[in-house]
Amino acid sequence: TGKAGRKSGGPSRVWDRLRPPSPPAIMHYSEHEAALLAEKLKDDSKFSEAITVLLSWIERGEVNRRSANQFYSMVQSANSHVRRLMNEKATHEQEMEEAKENFKNALTGILTQFEQIVAVFNASTRQKAWDHFSKAQRKNIDIWRKHSEELRNAQSEQLMGIRREEEMEMSDDENCDSPTKKMRVDESALAAQAYALKEENDSLRWQLDAYRNEVELLKQEKEQLFRTEENLTKDQQLQFLQQTMQGMQQQLLTIQEELNNKKSELEQAKEEQSHTQALLKVLQEQLKGTKELVETNGHSHEDSNEINVLTVALANQDRENNIEKRSQGLKSEKEALLIGIISTFLHVHPFGANIEYLWSYMQQLDSKISANEIEMLLMRLPRMFKQEFTGVGATLEKRWKLCAFEGIKTT
């Protein structure tokens, strides 16, 4: 009996090895395992395994008052997976429609090429070209033409079959849209759809509340940012106005200084004019008295020489006085700097330079200086700078030269 038992036990072991492995044991319910299962239900790759565990727990009777909320959340996750499955199905259907359309387009292209090949064979069988082929060539062309026509007809029939199927599907869709078909919709499907819509409505309401809170926060942040920008704008405007005011004050001081210079120059010119007029009167009176003496004494030649000498001496004296008045002291440190720069410039230009050339050079150092200001400064210092005329006619030009080395010898 032992041998028989051993013999009978042999095939059972082989059968045990051939049987598929039993599924893994399902873990017992706990709050921690339930939380992990809820996460798996949200993962598409682990959904099948997780839904099996959930079904086992519900069948075991793990649902009670304490765990009802957790089980409800997991059932809700399972319901949400329905929408994902429908979306996946719609995606696959769309891919299938695209594949059908691509196949139909490719088949249409193939059929077009078959038509072209058959047209070539038909043109070859016409008498104009057919007479030039040999018998063997004609036989081969005829075989090829018949084969191509058969293939073309088969492709055309297949394409027409696809188009008929599409028309039938369209007619079926129209029939499905009829009122009689709509009445046959399953009530459970409608209930499931209504429940899904309710869940979606709740989810949208929660999202709306979250969006409202975000909008309120954004409004507050925007108000704070607007206030900050407004304060910065006011500060920038105030700073800009202060800078503008300072610039205008500086321009006013410069204009006032130029006005004082013009006033002093005008007063000097008036003094020179009054002095010249007084000197002219003195000379006229002396000339008149001298003429009377000449008429009475008869010494015309010697007296006229004395008058000329006296006139020249007075004119020279007046010129020296004017030069001393014009060559008054410098008014500011800026004028001293200008004189030093101009002297250096004219020193390296021994033949002189006109006022425009000198002004263009000085503008590179001081963009606010004018040609008139430079010329007035040169005219105030006749012992340092002198003006000469060069050229003839249209080429006549006024040039300023540095004469300080000559002027210092005559002082």
Domain boundary among 77, 105, 132: 132
Domain endpoint, select from 81, 102, 132: 132
Determine, yes or no, domain membership for 80.
yes
285 part of a folded domain: no
Decide if 106 is inside a domain: yes
Phi, psi of 224 (to 5 degrees): -65, -45
Where a domain ends, among 72, 99, 132? 132
Q: Is residue 271 part of a domain?
A: no
User: Residue 256 is encoded by which pair of tokens?
Assistant: 């006032």
Q: Per the domain annotation, does 55 fall within a domain?
A: yes
Residue 78 backbone zone (phi > 0: left; psi -120 to 50: alpha; other: beta): alpha
Residue 94 in any domain: the answer is yes
Total of domains in the chain: 2
Residues 112-138 have pLDDT tens digits of 888 889 888 888 888 788 888 888 888
* Containing structural domain, residue 98: 25-132
Residue 401 bridge partners (DSSP) = 386
DSSP for 183-215, written as a single string = TTS-HHHHHHHHHHHHHHHHHHHHHHHHHHHHH
pLDDT tens digits for 178-218? 554 455 545 556 766 777 787 778 778 878 877 888 888 88
CA distance 285 to 282: 5
pLDDT in tens, 218-276: 888 888 888 877 777 888 888 888 888 888 888 888 888 888 878 877 887 787 787 77
